[in-house]
Every structure is written in structure tokens, then in C-alpha cells.
Structure 1
Amino acid sequence: MVPTQELTVPPARRPRRRAGRVSAGWITTFCLPAIALYGLFLVVPIVTAFYYGLFRWDGTRQGAFVGVGNYREILTRYPLSDEIPAALGHNVLFFVGTMAIQNTVGLGLAVLLHRNPWGKRLFQTLFSLPYLISPLIVGYIWSLLLSPTFGPVNFALRAIGLDAWARPWLGEPDLALPVLILVNAWQWIGGPMLIFGAALAGIPQELEEAAAMDGASSARTFWSIRFPLLMPAVGVITVLTFIGCFNIFDLVYALGGSDGGPGGAMDVLGLLYYRTAFRGGSNAIGESSALAMLIFVLIFGVSLALERALRRREVH
């Protein structure tokens, strides 16, 4: 009798996952904390402000539904009808001045450090340290430095014979806003410098070598090769600077107080919202919520338009 051979069935092989592929469950698990924080600290306040802005308030007691009544009130009632355009104009000037300084000085520092790597890490750290400090602290420190009575800035000017240059820097309406722009640019200059430095490091060296072999000067090489390739970095800096300049509050509050300095020369939308919310009348909650929504729509809309316009320019 011939022994029968046992038939063995090979076990089913489990499908192998591709290397580097992560399941949707893990992605959801890791994203949930960020989504929860985003919703709690951003989405919920925006929805709440929109809801509060639709009602009239008597102190902290919610009143009747008024729809766009609060928006009409802040845009037509004095003094808000005059203060909103003035504060918006100061925000625009603040953004333009900050952009002009940050883009030029930050790009210049990035180019110098890129060409001369000696001490690069040290200078990057030194220029980046100010934006690690709270703008409120920076503002109070500069208010002491610029004090007309005991400030070291005026003392140094008088010591070298420039008495005419010693001014009440934060006490004159014509000087207050330019000083605010300079202090803000000084604090945040490290950010554009690092972004431009990273963008310069990503430019292929072969392009510059080919331009040099064709006889192009350093300036021509920069404007024809480097600068066009830096446009994505310019776009990022522009959008971030716009958002920061139109959200500014703490630095202006430290340098000029809640009224925005002499004659409201430094008054911005953030300070105006603060005064409306904490110094307004019985309907302060409704009016300040409506103003907050207008500021949000302005910042979000202009930031989106800037991002699309700059991206279209990168493509062309």
C-alpha cells in the first residue's frame, strides 16, 4: 500500500504595506490635537464674535437681534466713523514702512552672511534674538531708551554735539509713527533674514557660475538670477508681515498707550478695538465684536489676494 502524501496549503500571505505609507487612522490621530487647538483658539472665537456682533447688548446682558446694525453703527457714528479710517491709514503706513525696511535690510544681511560664512551662526543668532522677546517688553524698553529726559539716545546725541537732534521721539506726532516702524522692524528683522538666507542657500551654484562665465557682473547676476528665484521668499515675508502689521497691538500700546501716542499719531485698528471693547458704552460687546469681524475679513481677504497675486507672479 502506497502511503499518501499529505497535502499542505501554504498560509495566505498578508499584503505588505509599502514603505513610507501611513494609514489614514494614524494621520487622523496625529492631526486631531492640532485640529482641536485650532478650533478652540481660532474658530470658536471667530464664530462667537460673529454671533455677538448680531445683537445689541446692555452691558453683559444680550438684547435684541439687530443684524448689521452694529456694523452700521461703528461705521457711521462719531467718533468711530473718523477713528476707523485714521487707524486703517496708520496700519497701511506701518505695513509699507516695515516691508521697505525688512525686505531691504533683511535681504542685505542675508546676502552678506551668505557670501561670508565666517561667524554666520553667531550673527544669525544675534539678529534673531529680539523677536524672541515679547513686543510689550520691547516697547517698554525702547520707551525708556527714547525718553527725552533720561534716555540714553538723547544723552548720546548731546554728548557728541548733536543737541538739535535730541528730540522727544515719542512725543511729536510727526516722529511717533516712523519711530514705531523702526522699532518694529528692528525687532523682526531676523525673520526675513533667515528666510532669505534659506532661499539663497537653495539657489544652484551652477547658475551663478554660468552667469560669471558669460561675463555678467555681480549686480547683474543678483538681479537676473538670484532675485527672481527669491520671489517665493518675498511672497512669504509679504503675507506674514501684512498679517503682523494689521494685528499689531502690544508694541503700540507699550510705546504710545491705549490712545495711540500724541494726537493719535500711532493709533491702529488693534488699539481702536481695545478702546471700543473696554471703554465703550453699554453696547460695547456688540460694537467691538462687529469691529473685530471687520478686521478679520480685511486681514483674511487682503492676505488671500496678496498670496494669489504673488504666486501668479512667481509662475510668470
Structure 2
Amino acid sequence: MSDVETLRRPRRWHIAVFLAPAVLVYTAIMIVPLADTLRLALFRSTDNAQTFVGLDNFKVLFGDPRWSVSFWNALKNNVIFFVIHMLIQNPVGIALAAMLSVPKLRGTAFYRTSFFLPTMLSFVIVGFTWKLILSPIWGVTPTLLGLVHLKWLFGPWLGQETTALITLALISVWQYVGVPMMLIYAALLSIPEEVIEAAELDGVTGPSQFWKIKLPLILPTVGICSILTFVGNFNAFDLIYSAQGALAGPNFSADILGTFLYRTFFGFQLQLGDQNMGATIATMMFLIILTGVAVYLFAIQRRMRRYQF
């Protein structure tokens, strides 16, 4: 009888029909370029022909000083860029979300819109606007600092090797802090009222309620924000390029893997483009991101599941 029922069970071909457009588009713009990038990383152009060289391009990237110095500098800057976001953007996002979730707070919709609005701005607008704001010649920053008697703190932050990368990271934090804020805010609103009422009956209110009850419950969302920050930062390119150009100056002090990849693949000024070495750098970026995501999924996320409802 069960065999008859199995034979009579209709096949759901419509699922494949509905999934086909998305799968085709994703394959065309993601899978195929990724596979071709991995292929290019294993070849080298000699006499206008592609020659298979295996892992030699990676040996050049790590062993040749002409490439390794720039690669390790870009990777170090990328790590610094990511750490600044983790230490500032996500904690500030949590604090803003906690503030917005207070029931007695008025104007919540206005604050949500204000904090999230920079996220929707074009990176070109953000980069050039902040470059004008921080300009020592026509920027408004010296005037604003002078109003609070702190003009002595001002300097050409985007023009100094020691401060350019940190300044750009803080600009990026300002632009994207709305993303973790909204995700964590949604997670706070999804906490069942029964849990909050039980905590209040036990005398857990105010800040202690957030630290002891709410924060452990939203840790999975905090983890998602962290991995999104990791992926976004190691894919970063637009803000650095729009503010500092492809050279990510001064003296490559703001150079990250994205700008290093751009100069290598497409070439810039007197530097000729090298598709194979560019693909090698892109492959390393992919492996770094893949490793970070795998560590999160298999080592961290499993420990957070006990906090989920």
C-alpha cells in the first residue's frame, strides 16, 4: 500500500521551475567567475598564452619581495580595519539597539531612521564628503573643533600615514553602524514577553536585565553581525578607493587587499595589469573569508544554539 501511495505522490516540479532563475543568475555572476578566478590563479601568461604553473603564483606572492611586501602590508591593514569595526561598530550597534528597545523612549522611529540613513548612501558620496569635511584647507572640522576649544586636536588625518587607515575605518563605522543596530534591535524585540516578565518578577530590571537576560539571548544575532562584519571588511574596497584612490595613500598606509587586488589585476598608472597574479590575490581573499566563515559556523555557532528558542 505504501508503494502505491509513493507512486501516486505528485512530483513537485514547480519547485525546480521557481528555483531555476535564481540558480542560473547566481551561477552566472558568482559560481562561474569564482571558478574562472581559481583557474587563472594556476596559470601564467607567457608569449600571449596561458601556461599551467600550479602553485607557483602563490610562491611568488609569498616569496618575491616585490609582491610579498605589498601583500602582507595590505593584509595587516585589513586586519586593523576589521578589528576597529569589531571593537567600535558592533558594540555601538548593540548600545543603540538597547537604547531603541527601551519602551518609554520617544521618537524611536526618528532615531532608527537617522542611524540607518548613512547605510543607504553611496560610498562615493560618503568618501568625497568626508574628504571635504576633514580637509585642512576648506573643511569644517577645524571650525567645529574650535567652537569647543579643541582645534589643537585637528590634523590632516587622511594625509598622515599613522592616521589615514584609522580615519577611514571610523568613517566606515559611521556609515555601517546601522546594520548591526537594526539586526540586534530586531532580535531584542523578538524576545518573548514571558521571559522579560519572569526576570522582572525575580527583581532583574534595568541594565542588569540587559546584561543577564537579553544579551545572552541575542548572542546568535551578535555572532551573525560579527561574521557579516568580517566578510564585509575583507571584501572592502569602495570607501578606500573613493577617498584615497587606487594607491590607498599616503605611501600605501591605507592599502587593503581590495585595493591591492585592483592595482594588480587592472593595472594603475605605470603598473601593468596581471590577471594571473590578480586572480592569485583574489583566491587568497576567498580562502581567508572561507576560513573565517567556517570557523564561525563549525566552532562558534554551535555553542550559541543553546541560547536560541
Both proteins in one fold, TM over 0.5: yes
- Aligned match of 1:189 in 158, 177, 182? 177
- Alignment counterpart, residue 142 of structure 1, candidates 119, 126, 130: 130
Q: Which residue of 1 aligns with 2:39?
A: 51
Say if 2:290 is the partner of 1:300.
yes
Pairwise CA distance, 1:22: 9.8
Are the structure 2 counterparts of residues 118 and 150 from structure 1 closer, same or farther at C-alpha, using a change threshold of 3 Å? same
Alpha-carbon distance in structure 1 between the residues aligned to 2:147 and 2:189: 43
> Which SS does the other structure have where 2:298 is aligned?
helix
Q: Match of 1:10?
A: none
For residues 296 and 22 of structure 1, what CA distance do their matches in structure 2 show?
Answer: 41
Q: What RMSD, in angstroms, separates the aligned Cα atoms of the two structures?
A: 2.1
Aligned to 2:50, what secondary structure does the other structure show? strand
* Aligned partner letter, 1:275: R
Evaluate the alpha carbon distance shift between residue 22 and residue 158 of structure 1 in structure 2; reply closer, same or farther with a 3 A threshold: farther
Q: Percent identity?
A: 36
For residues 243 and 296 of structure 1, what CA distance do their matches in structure 2 show? 10
Q: Which residue of 2 aligns with 1:7?
A: none
Q: Is the 8 A contact 1:157 1:166 kept in 2?
A: yes
TM-score, length-scaled by structure 2: 0.89
2:266–2:274 contact (8 Å) kept in structure 1 = yes
User: Does the Cα contact within 8 Å between 2:220 and 2:305 map onto a contact in 1?
Assistant: no
Contact kept, 8 Å, 1:273 with 1:292, in 2: the verdict is yes
Aligned equivalent of 1:77 = 64
Specify the alignment match of 1:266 in structure 2.
Answer: 254
Partner of 1:162: 150
- Tell me the SS of whatever aligns to 2:101: helix
Question: Once structures 1 and 2 are overlaid, which stretch shifts more, 179-188 or 272-281?
Answer: 272-281
CA distance in 1: counterparts of 2:279 and 2:189, whole angstroms: 45
Q: Which residue of 1 aligns with 2:165?
A: 177
Q: Which moved more, 1:189-198 or 1:158-167?
A: 158-167
- Give the unaligned 5+ runs of structure 1: 1-14, 16-20
- Maintained 8 Å contact 2:263/2:273: no
Partner of 2:95: 108
Counting only pairs closer than 5 Å after superposition, residues 1-316 of structure 1 correspond to structure 2 as: 24-58=12-46, 61-115=48-102, 116-279=104-267, 284-316=274-306
* Equivalent residues of 1:136, 1:250 under 8 A apart: yes
Aligned length: 296
Q: How far did 1:117 drift?
A: 4.9
In 2, Cα distance between equivalents of 1:46 and 1:22? 37
What TM-score do the two structures reach when normalised by structure 1?
A: 0.87
Structure 2 stretches lacking a partner, 5+ long: none
1:235–1:307 CA contact under 8 A, matched in 2? no
Residue deviations 1:20-55 (CA, integer Å, cap 9, x gap) = x99621211111111111101111111111112222
- 2:179 and 2:50 map into 1 onto residues whose CA distance is 46
State whether residues 133 and 139 of structure 2, in contact with CA within 8 Å, keep that contact through their aligned partners in structure 1.
yes
Distance 1:295 1:22, change over 3 A: farther
Change in 2 beyond 3 A, CA 1:269/1:207:
same
For the pair shown, which has the larger CA radius of gyration, 1 or 2? 1
- Residues 138-194 of structure 1: CA deviation (Å, up to 9, x unaligned): 111111111111111122223443331121010112211221111111111111111
Contact 1:170 1:179 in 2 (8 A): yes
- Structure 1 residue 279 displacement after superposition: 2.7
Is the partner of 2:111 in helix, strand or coil?
A: helix
